[in-house]
Amino acid sequence: MRRHFRLRGYRVVEANAWVAGYELDLVVRRGDRLVVCEVKTKGGEDYGHPFEMVTEEKARRIRQAAEAWLARRPDLEGLEVALEAVAVRGRRVERAAFD
């Protein structure tokens, strides 16, 4: 997953960060844009789509953890922050924003 973002010009800021009792899978940056990613993988078509695993409650917890993590990083203040779910299915990677 890190390679996917690096190939698109992002720099990995942190991976598997635990904060506020939750894990942030991946935090990447490109310029003034910071993306907090929830990475989900499913083994095959029979198991549904990985995005189905990012429920409203899961999104709320990610948002809460991201806010706590950012509060500890004043050096990143002022950046545009986006929350994304990243679905990995084999070699295919899909990204979708959520709030």
Write the single-letter amino acid at 29.
R
Q: Provide the pLDDT for residue 53.
A: 84
Q: Which domain holds residue 85?
A: 2-97
34 band by pLDDT with thresholds 50, 70 and 90: very high
- CATH number reported for the structural domain that contains residue 74 in this entry: 3.40.1350.10
> For the residues 59-86, what does the mean pLDDT come to?
95
Q: Is the pLDDT of residue 47 over 80?
A: no
pTM: 0.89
42 secondary structure, DSSP code: -
pLDDT value at 50 more than 90: no
Distances (CA, A) of 54 to 19, 71, 76, 85: 18, 24, 26, 7
How far is CA 7 from its chain centroid?
16
Q: Of 71, 72, 68, 86, whose CA–CA distance to 28 is shortest?
A: 86
**Count of structural domains within the chain:** 1
Q: What pLDDT, on the 0 to 100 scale, is given for residue 44? A: 67
The answer to whether 97 and 90 are in contact (CB under 8 A) is no
Give the mean model confidence (pLDDT) for residues 14-22: 93
